[in-house]
Amino acid sequence: MRALLDFLLFDWLKAETLCARPRHAGQSREDYAQMLDACERVAREVWQSANRACDTDEPKVDADGKVQLPASTARAVRAYFDTGLHTAGLDAEHGGLQLPCMVEMAGNAFFSKASPGCMGYPMLSVANTGLLLAHGTPAQIEAFARPQIEGRWLGTMCLSEPAIGSSLGDLTTRAEADGGDALGARYRLKGSKMWISAGEHELAENIVHLVLAKVPREDGSLPEGSAGISLFIVPKFRPDGTRNGVSLVGLNHKLGWRGTSNCLLNFGESDAALGWRVGAEGQGLAQMFHMMNEARIGVGLGAAMLAMAGYEVSRAYAAERVQGRAPGRRGGPQQPLNAHADVRRMLLQQKAVAEGALALNLFCARLVDEQRSSGPDAEQAAQLLALLIPVAKSWPSQWGLEANSQAIQVLGGAGYTRDWPVEQFWRDQRLNMIHEGTHGIQGLDLLLRKASQPALVQAFAQRVNATVQAALAEPDLAEWANQLAGALALVGKALKSAWASGDPAQAALHATPVLQGFGHLVLAWIWLDLHVAARGHALEPGLRAACAYFFAYELPLVQAWLQPVLAQQRLLAEVDEAAL
Amino acid sequence: MRALLDFLLFDWLKAETLCARPRHAGQSREDYAQMLDACERVAREVWQSANRACDTDEPKVDADGKVQLPASTARAVRAYFDTGLHTAGLDAEHGGLQLPCMVEMAGNAFFSKASPGCMGYPMLSVANTGLLLAHGTPAQIEAFARPQIEGRWLGTMCLSEPAIGSSLGDLTTRAEADGGDALGARYRLKGSKMWISAGEHELAENIVHLVLAKVPREDGSLPEGSAGISLFIVPKFRPDGTRNGVSLVGLNHKLGWRGTSNCLLNFGESDAALGWRVGAEGQGLAQMFHMMNEARIGVGLGAAMLAMAGYEVSRAYAAERVQGRAPGRRGGPQQPLNAHADVRRMLLQQKAVAEGALALNLFCARLVDEQRSSGPDAEQAAQLLALLIPVAKSWPSQWGLEANSQAIQVLGGAGYTRDWPVEQFWRDQRLNMIHEGTHGIQGLDLLLRKASQPALVQAFAQRVNATVQAALAEPDLAEWANQLAGALALVGKALKSAWASGDPAQAALHATPVLQGFGHLVLAWIWLDLHVAARGHALEPGLRAACAYFFAYELPLVQAWLQPVLAQQRLLAEVDEAAL
């Protein structure tokens, strides 16, 4: 995988060009390689062996009410902080390394591949820290972000509640004013938060919860909708060292991703849950979503890496395991599994998904860098990123799951046993379509919020056309270039058809099919662009095979998925509830 | 589900017409309903509550080397035998009820839906018994089948070995001649058998293993290929009550379907493993495959039922759980999940898969009845059955898995926890693409052995055209009729294209895409045929909605999947192993 990462970062995305910009002045390819070396080594030596234990020995509440994890998880989290990767994206003024987002993401790729279950702890802490640095006061940063930067504390994000899942505007956690101090306006929080990853454990001295809640009006009622949401810092231990009123109600027992404790937390149940407001009242959701792009790239990248993990295991198995003969042939020696056509199809599918999804998410990270380092194309990058994010998150989640299922299939009965890791990859992967915005919500984000802006679609079409032009110049790529151009035109038609009524409720009927069709278009573009860039590179034959697979077996699906959109199919609106 | 079963059996498949034939003389719809009532009740009252325990408390080897299962599994197996369903398909001369296969399958549907893990024990015993009755001597039947018919013993099928999975011709278990007795020619078996479901447990007084092995030549070498395979009865306890040389090496720890113990067994390791040959030498594979059609219908039906189980849970959840509002609307009360377009899509997908797959497998069971009761169309039924079997097994396995994944998605985070049963359905379902012939092998069976016979394709085309004609007569179905006719023509073209070279190794490149395309064609036909039959029935609105979903969202995929076949894509043959 390292050779591929190097190709993607340095040959395709030209990471070194960033060193010419003030934000990355003085950095070099060697610096980036050094960070990747450290991550690759720690992931291999410490994380990989921790992955099974964090699944089989899932978080438990002991007699003292403490959440216990395997010792190997604690070692893994410690080793992660030792690489310094958690500060890679932070500004130097806060002690960060100020590395490009794509280097940070590439470093994380090794850890996500080795153990998503262990990854939950540092990942949430990094997001928490980033949010505090962006919106907190200097005192809040010093008190709550600094210990996380130093790797002593960890953090969480507390959004959902038992009665609300994706509908955050309906949350009911209350924050009652309680004066103020050097840390800002103080509140007492009351409510329950559900699905809190890394919400309780003994891995760190303290846990900094970032909690969405509403400040009641004078009559005690809560403001309606998301405009009434504010953001609060609610630590497990208060600055004076006393226990804050955050209590663990219970752990969720999951299908996979078991290494990360997942909690139902009560705030202010028996003791006061003191919290300090971050920024202005009513800004909570906007602040929380400030880092949403990176969070979604993180999920997409993690999904790509699980697909990669399954691909590597099944590829090795198919090369070694001897089984059966070519159709029509009797007698003679058996052949390896990877000589069978259908096994090859399953390997190419995994390769196309894993490597394509990795490339897409690194491309998105490159767009983050473009904005953050104020590159010449920062505005276009922001537009392109906004449009691609729902795909970067959802496509690897959906097709990575399919890839992990194929990995099981390549191993046959063995893949269905817990003697091999592929079944865990598949279970872990299943979460990715649910957390950080469900698949359905990504579809609505794409169609209703992003693809409804002509400038965003235009920015994307320009990029695709540039790839088409480059590929048309090469005789062996011309057919794919034409297919890609055709798919782009088709998706454009489908967007018009979906929005024909101008009514978002009507358009929403087509959100998921559009997400599917647009997603495969994006990946076809990524694959052709990779192929153009790989000319003469040692990886070219493999990349060409995956590209060929994608255009032959996957791209035709776009037409099928968009058919009901083009036909303005209204079944989903008209079907009677009783008929479901 | 009962109303649907009644519609399928009595309105659509006209089960009662079988009562006019000698094999079912004297039977009535009331007899069939009585059996279904008993199965429905036992599945609900005894099996459903046993399903979680058989997953969480998976089979374990105790200190005495015995395989221990939850008490609820033993109760479930006992209750199954009490219904008499295990004798439903057997001839009256052997104490069977001689009911139609479709009634037997419909009865099994309740149990498969309630607990596939408990189902393994009776299912294998029934298959074992059927095989003994078909090929055993009267003495063998009396000694080994009778106790299973009486519900005292259980049985297994021992095919795979550690070094061979699907390639049975390469098996190495030896059977050395050891004289003979009243039970027939006796042998001593030596070898290992892998993936033996229900291979060891304490549920019954004895376990009858049916073992594939090879009789060595005089020089001690084993005959090559499947022609050298014979079938042997190797009981856990010999007829004289002593322990036979069958030993448990270990249990496989699986991703799902944990209720059924799955074993690696050694034969003749320390003690002699005495076995009696069934029928003639070299007939083993043919005998084992004698009941393959029913075994594959059993898997397809079980897959359909897991999809149904997930559908029912997620449908109820989506009707009750209130969450969010219509796109573009702010404020006001939240709406139930099933008001959201994408949730409706996920429910319709599950309905189309679960109910369509159930219908297909009952249709196949009807074809078994046609043959077995020597109906006027027995020959055409045999041809149609041969062609449909790979789809009846593989389609529900693949799309039922997708349906179970959608059930998780409808429940969101809750679906990802073990507090809800949908995650177990999904894990259990994953086995169905692997056992009883992998997905890839079903594709080869379809394209190389079945669809290569014009008579079989012809028999199918006739049936489809009859449905097209019937639907064309109804204005609101005419468009679907035309789509179905178009898909039939397209699949016909694809079959020609796949076989253009006349070389099975070349055709095999297209086996899986053809399986996909043909599978969806079959289901489109099933759905339209169901719709025609449902006119005026209380179930019509629901069946129409699922039919509409299938034609709008699923059928267009056929064109996409067959594109590489029509283009005679050779990537899978040409790709270099190093590029995978």
pLDDT above 70 coverage of chain B, percent = 100
Give the Cα separation of A145 and A125 in Å (integer). Answer: 9
Q: Which pLDDT tens digit goes with each residue over A266-297?
A: 999 989 999 999 999 999 999 998 889 999 99
Give the Cα separation of B458 and A253 in Å (integer). Answer: 52
Whether residue A492 contacts residue A543, with contact meaning beta carbons closer than 8 Å, is answered with no
CB-side neighbour CA atoms (13 Å) of B500: 12
pLDDT of B270 strictly over 90: no
**Which helix H or strand E contains A67, and what residues bound it?**
strand A67-68
SS3 of B542-568: the string is HHHHHHHHHHHHHCCHHHHHHHHHHCC
pLDDT band at A481 (very low <50, low <70, confident <90, very high): very high
Query: Mean of the pLDDT values across residues A298-316?
Result: 98
What single letter denotes the amino acid at residue B79?
A
Considering only CB atoms, which chain A residues are within 8 Å of B413?
A: 160, 165, 194-195, 252, 434-435
Biggest alpha carbon–alpha carbon distance for chain B = 86
3-state class of A441 per DSSP?
Answer: helix
Quote the ipTM score.
Answer: 0.98
Q: Which residue of chain A is at minimal alpha-carbon distance from B445?
A: A327
Catalytic residues of A: 436
Q: Do B412 and A438 touch (CB under 8 A)?
A: yes
Q: Measured on CA atoms in the order A134, A139, A145, A151, is the torsion positive or negative?
A: positive
3-state class of A498 per DSSP?
Answer: helix
pLDDT band at A484 (very low <50, low <70, confident <90, very high): very high
Tell me the average pLDDT of chain A. Answer: 97
Q: Which residue of chain A is at minimal alpha-carbon distance from B336?
A: A577
CB-based burial, A306-335: b 16+ in 10 Å, e otherwise: bbbbbbbbbbebbeebebbbebeeeeeebe
Closest CA to A545 of A266, A331, A300, A352: A352
Give the Cα separation of B146 and B133 in Å (integer). Answer: 9
Q: What six digits make up the tokens of B143? A: 């000694």
Please report, in angstroms and rounded to a whole number, the separation of the first and last CA atoms in chain B. 45
Q: What six digits make up the tokens of A106? A: 């590439």
Identity of the residue in B254, B331, B563 whose CB atom sits nearest the CB atom of A556: B563
Identity of the residue in B344, B544, B557 whose CB atom sits nearest the CB atom of A557: B557
Q: Do B440 and A343 touch (CB under 8 A)?
A: yes
Considering only CB atoms, which chain A residues are within 8 Å of B440?
A: 340, 342-343, 409
- Cα A188–chain centre separation: 32
Q: Which residue of chain A is at minimal alpha-carbon distance from B342?
A: A440
Considering only CB atoms, which chain A residues are within 8 Å of B339?
A: 577
Q: Which residue of chain B is at minimal alpha-carbon distance from A226?
A: B330
Give the Cα separation of A170 and B18 in Å (integer). Answer: 59
In angstroms, the separation between the Cα of residue B252 and the nearest Cα of chain A is 7
Q: Do A327 and B567 touch (CB under 8 A)?
A: no
pLDDT above 90 coverage of chain A, percent = 97
State the pLDDT at residue B290. Answer: 80
State the pLDDT at residue A291. Answer: 84
Q: Do B417 and A559 touch (CB under 8 A)?
A: no
Closest CA to B185 of B227, B153, B129, B233: B233
Q: What six digits make up the tokens of A501? A: 């009524």
Q: Do B508 and A327 touch (CB under 8 A)?
A: yes
pLDDT band at B330 (very low <50, low <70, confident <90, very high): confident
Of B104, B200, B436, B554, the catalytic one is: B436
Which one of A394, A553, A555, A569 would you mutate to disrupt binding with B, by most B Cβ within 10 Å of its Cβ? Answer: A553
Considering only CB atoms, which chain B residues are within 8 Å of A319?
A: 577
User: β-strands A154-158, A207-214: how paired?
Assistant: parallel
Q: Do A412 and B165 touch (CB under 8 A)?
A: yes
Considering only CB atoms, which chain B residues are within 8 Å of A347?
A: 580
Residue A489, Cβ neighbours under 10 Å: how many?
Answer: 11
Q: Do A167 and B345 touch (CB under 8 A)?
A: no
Residues in chain A: 580
A341-372 vs A378-411: helix crossing angle, rounded to 10: 160
Q: Which pLDDT tens digit goes with each residue over A522-556?
A: 999 999 999 999 999 999 999 999 999 999 999 99
Residue B6, Cβ neighbours under 10 Å: how many?
Answer: 18
Residue B31, Cβ neighbours under 10 Å: how many?
Answer: 15
Q: Which pLDDT tens digit goes with each residue over B73-88?
A: 999 999 999 999 999 9
State the pLDDT at residue A500. Answer: 97
Considering only CB atoms, which chain B residues are within 8 Å of A170?
A: 334
CB-based burial, B170-194: b 16+ in 10 Å, e otherwise: bbebbbeeeeeeebbbbbbbbbbbb
Q: Which residue of chain A is at minimal alpha-carbon distance from B169?
A: A324
Tell me the average pLDDT of chain B. Answer: 97
Identity of the residue in B165, B430, B564 whose CB atom sits nearest the CB atom of A552: B564
In angstroms, the separation between the Cα of residue B407 and the nearest Cα of chain A is 12
In angstroms, the separation between the Cα of residue B272 and the nearest Cα of chain A is 29
Whether residue B545 contacts residue A579, with contact meaning beta carbons closer than 8 Å, is answered with yes
Whether residue B353 contacts residue B520, with contact meaning beta carbons closer than 8 Å, is answered with no
What single letter denotes the amino acid at residue A252?
N
Query: Mean of the pLDDT values across residues B93-119?
Result: 97
Residue A476, Cβ neighbours under 10 Å: how many?
Answer: 9
Q: Do A334 and B170 touch (CB under 8 A)?
A: yes
In angstroms, the separation between the Cα of residue B415 and the nearest Cα of chain A is 9
Considering only CB atoms, which chain A residues are within 8 Å of B451?
A: none
pLDDT of B331 strictly over 90: no
Q: Do A319 and B194 touch (CB under 8 A)?
A: no
Give the Cα separation of A157 and A121 in Å (integer). Answer: 11
Q: How many CB pairs under 8 A join A and B?
A: 259
Please report, in angstroms and rounded to a whole number, the separation of the first and last CA atoms in chain A. 45
Considering only CB atoms, which chain A residues are within 8 Å of B256?
A: 416
**Which helix H or strand E contains B523, and what residues bound it?**
helix B511-533
- Cα A107–chain centre separation: 14
3-state class of B486 per DSSP?
Answer: helix
User: Residue B238 contacts by C-beta under 8 Å, 6 or more apart in sequence?
Assistant: B244, B274
CA distances from residue B36 to A427, B25, B294, B330 in whole angstroms, order as listed: 36, 19, 19, 49
Give the Cα separation of B363 and B385 in Å (integer). Answer: 9
Q: Which pLDDT tens digit goes with each residue over A132-188?
A: 999 999 999 999 999 999 999 999 999 999 998 888 999 999 999 999 999 999 999
Q: Which pLDDT tens digit goes with each residue over B33-50?
A: 999 999 999 999 999 999
pLDDT of A28 strictly over 90: yes
Considering only CB atoms, which chain A residues are within 8 Å of B549?
A: 571
What single letter denotes the amino acid at residue A544?
R
Q: Which pLDDT tens digit goes with each residue over A443-462?
A: 999 999 999 999 999 999 99
In angstroms, the separation between the Cα of residue A376 and the nearest Cα of chain B is 35
Q: Do B418 and A253 touch (CB under 8 A)?
A: yes
Backbone torsions φ then ψ of A163, nearest 5 degrees: -95, -10
Q: Which residue of chain A is at minimal alpha-carbon distance from B515?
A: A342
Query: Mean of the pLDDT values across residues B131-156?
Result: 98
Identity of the residue in A166, A408, A579 whose CB atom sits nearest the CB atom of B541: A579
Residue A22, Cβ neighbours under 10 Å: how many?
Answer: 8
In angstroms, the separation between the Cα of residue A359 and the nearest Cα of chain B is 17
Q: Do A341 and B427 touch (CB under 8 A)?
A: no
In angstroms, the separation between the Cα of residue B556 and the nearest Cα of chain A is 5
State the pLDDT at residue B50. Answer: 98
Q: Which pLDDT tens digit goes with each residue over B391-449?
A: 999 999 999 999 999 999 999 999 999 999 999 999 999 999 999 999 999 999 999 99
Which one of A252, A312, A334, A345 would you mutate to disrupt binding with B, by most B Cβ within 10 Å of its Cβ? Answer: A345
Identity of the residue in A169, A323, A426 whose CB atom sits nearest the CB atom of B166: A323
State the pLDDT at residue A330. Answer: 82
In angstroms, the separation between the Cα of residue B92 and the nearest Cα of chain A is 37
In angstroms, the separation between the Cα of residue A140 and the nearest Cα of chain B is 32
Q: What six digits make up the tokens of A76? A: 């893994």
Query: Mean of the pLDDT values across residues A60-88?
Result: 97
Q: Which residue has the higher pLDDT, A332 or B475?
A: B475
pLDDT above 90 coverage of chain B, percent = 97
Identity of the residue in B165, B511, B512 whose CB atom sits nearest the CB atom of A413: B165
Residue B512, Cβ neighbours under 10 Å: how many?
Answer: 25
Give the Cα separation of A180 and A277 in Å (integer). Answer: 10
Q: Which pLDDT tens digit goes with each residue over A374-391?
A: 988 899 999 999 999 999
Whether residue B255 contacts residue A423, with contact meaning beta carbons closer than 8 Å, is answered with yes
Which one of A261, A571, A574, A576 would you mutate to disrupt binding with B, by most B Cβ within 10 Å of its Cβ? Answer: A571
State the pLDDT at residue A375. Answer: 85
3-state class of A240 per DSSP?
Answer: coil
**Residue B436: active-site member:** yes
Considering only CB atoms, which chain A residues are within 8 Å of B172?
A: none
